[in-house]
Homo-oligomer: A and B are copies of this chain.
Amino acid sequence: MKSAAGFLLAAKRCEIQGLEQLATTAELLGGIARLVHVLQKERGASNVYLGSGGSRFAAQRLQIIAEGAAAEAEVRQRLYRLDVDTGRMSGGARLFSRIAWVLHGLDALPALRERIAAQVLSPAQVTAAFSELIAGLLAVVFEAADTACDPAVSRALVALFNFMQGKELAGQERATGAAAFAAGRADASRQQRLLHLIEAQERCFQLFAEFAGSDTVALWHAQQQAGTLAELERLRRVLCATPADGVLDAELSDAWFECCTTRLDAMRAVEDALAAHLRTLCAGKISDARAELHDQKSLLDALVAGAPGGVPPVAVFFERALAGADGDPHANGELLAADGLGPQLGRSVLDMLQAQSRRLQAMSDELNAVRGALNERKVIERAKGLLMAHRGLTEDQAYKMLRQTAMNQGRRLVDVAEATLALADLLPSGP
């Protein structure tokens, strides 16, 4: 470890460690995706159960809870096994803080379920409660995506996060629509909420398509069956275009629920493909990095063996600087000769160092770009939250205000969101 070559190898070992951590994280996220899916199902079933005064979905609900137990146990096991050393990663504190939040929520689930069984909660309350827990699980995925140290893996994580987010919005759409049909009457604020959920989903799936591989995007298109989509759009039209206080056919509730569920199950297949891709990607990167480490070691050993006195040639370090300066090129030639080694061999360590440095720099640049996309989303979400708190707006009103301002000023949405956050102190406090 006490030489340039030692640190060259140590840098490669760092990369390998980082990739191994990502592989562990990928397994965890696969488990989280499964748990979120079953919680989404439980939210839907609980809504129907409560909306029907306990007359429907009582057995289904219990079956889903039983299914969920296995998914929860898997996530808990993976969390408990998380190496405490993960904390050495930048952002480890944030990840652990998110995990604490999620565990707290999972611990509170049995009490929530008892209240649902006793029918002392409204469908809206249950939707809000499950959505809060799922948001916590998605926040774990977000932190994992934010701390990835490899750009390709980071892209795969961003694709997975956005897809999961879109799927969750689709799940909320299912619950909101089911409640609307169950109520039997169109309601303006619910309609606004549905339109917002539909629009926000589209944004998530666009970002997913931007960051996912073409195979997964093709799978997503294939999964969206034309028949289901047409039925979904027809029911969406009924939900959103019926005049406020107009009658909604409660009988459509089942068709809506089934149609949305078919769609969510199709999304689940895409999620699985994304998680599998992530695992394959990590495994491939780890094996590539190990092969590179092996090659670097062999080359360094050969250099040391070929050098006089077993010391690798170093004097060529300054070669470029000396050649670039306005000096006598002859002096420079002499310097090279003084190494007692062909310049070809002498250059090898330097070449390895420069190649590695260039590669790491390129990775870092690409990573910053991917993270930029993640951060944009975070900035927009926070600006929205700020407007909701300070101006008493709903989520979609806040989003529309940001978008309108961006269009009026010819600026990017994220720039307007950033400006909004920067002005936070100047905003009037809310009602």
**Residues on A close to B: CB < 8 A?**
1-8, 10-15, 17-18, 21, 79-80, 84-101, 103-105, 107-108, 111-112, 115, 120-122, 124-125, 127-129, 131-133, 147, 149, 314-318, 320-322, 324-328, 331-332, 334-335, 338, 349-350, 353, 356-357, 360-361, 364, 368, 375
The 4 A-B residue pairs with the shortest CB-CB distance, nearest first, are A14-B87, A88-B88, A7-B100, A11-B96
Nearest CB of chain B from residue A283's CB, rounded to whole Å:
19
Complex-state Cα separation, A163 to B124, whole angstroms: 57
Q: Write out the residue numbers on chain B whose beta carbons fall within 8 Å of the beta carbon of A353.
A: 97, 100-101, 104
Closest B residue, CB atoms, query A131: B321
A-B contact pairs, 9 of them (CB 8 A): A2-B80, A4-B100, A10-B96, A90-B91, A94-B361, A115-B331, A121-B327, A122-B326, A125-B325
Q: Write out the residue numbers on chain B whose beta carbons fall within 8 Å of the beta carbon of A13.
A: 84, 87
Closest B residue, CB atoms, query A418: B369
Please determine whether A125 and B327 come into contact, CB atoms closer than 8 angstroms. yes
Please determine whether B314 and A107 come into contact, CB atoms closer than 8 angstroms. yes
Complex-state Cα separation, A18 to B96, whole angstroms: 14
Would A121 and B322 be within 8 Å (CB), given that A1-B84, A8-B100, A88-B17 are in contact?
A: yes
Please determine whether A326 and B124 come into contact, CB atoms closer than 8 angstroms. yes
Please determine whether A349 and B104 come into contact, CB atoms closer than 8 angstroms. yes
Please determine whether A107 and B360 come into contact, CB atoms closer than 8 angstroms. no
Q: Write out the residue numbers on chain B whose beta carbons fall within 8 Å of the beta carbon of A100.
A: 4-8, 10-11, 353, 356
Complex-state Cα separation, A105 to B314, whole angstroms: 8
Copies in the complex: 2
Residue in B7, B15, B124, B350 whose CB lies within 8 Å of A103 = B7
Q: Write out the residue numbers on chain B whose beta carbons fall within 8 Å of the beta carbon of A87.
A: 10-11, 13-14, 17-18
Please determine whether A325 and B18 come into contact, CB atoms closer than 8 angstroms. no
6 new A-B contacts at CB < 8 Å, known A7-B103, A104-B350, A125-B321? A7-B99, A10-B100, A93-B149, A105-B318, A129-B322, A132-B318
Please determine whether B18 and A112 come into contact, CB atoms closer than 8 angstroms. no
Complex-state Cα separation, A394 to B67, whole angstroms: 67
Complex-state Cα separation, A4 to B350, whole angstroms: 49
Please determine whether B108 and A316 come into contact, CB atoms closer than 8 angstroms. yes
Please determine whether B318 and A112 come into contact, CB atoms closer than 8 angstroms. yes
Q: Write out the residue numbers on chain B whose beta carbons fall within 8 Å of the beta carbon of A368.
A: 375
Please determine whether A104 and B4 come into contact, CB atoms closer than 8 angstroms. yes
Q: Write out the residue numbers on chain B whose beta carbons fall within 8 Å of the beta carbon of A95.
A: 11
Please determine whether A317 and B122 come into contact, CB atoms closer than 8 angstroms. no
Residue of A84, A321, A356, A364 ringed by the most chain B CB atoms within 10 A = A321
Nearest CB of chain B from residue A309's CB, rounded to whole Å:
13
Q: Write out the residue numbers on chain B whose beta carbons fall within 8 Å of the beta carbon of A84.
A: 1, 10, 13
Q: Write out the residue numbers on chain B whose beta carbons fall within 8 Å of the beta carbon of A331.
A: 115, 120-122, 125
Nearest CB of chain B from residue A81's CB, rounded to whole Å:
10
Q: Write out the residue numbers on chain B whose beta carbons fall within 8 Å of the beta carbon of A91.
A: 90, 149, 364
Would A97 and B4 be within 8 Å (CB), given that A17-B88, A121-B327, A325-B125 are in contact?
A: no
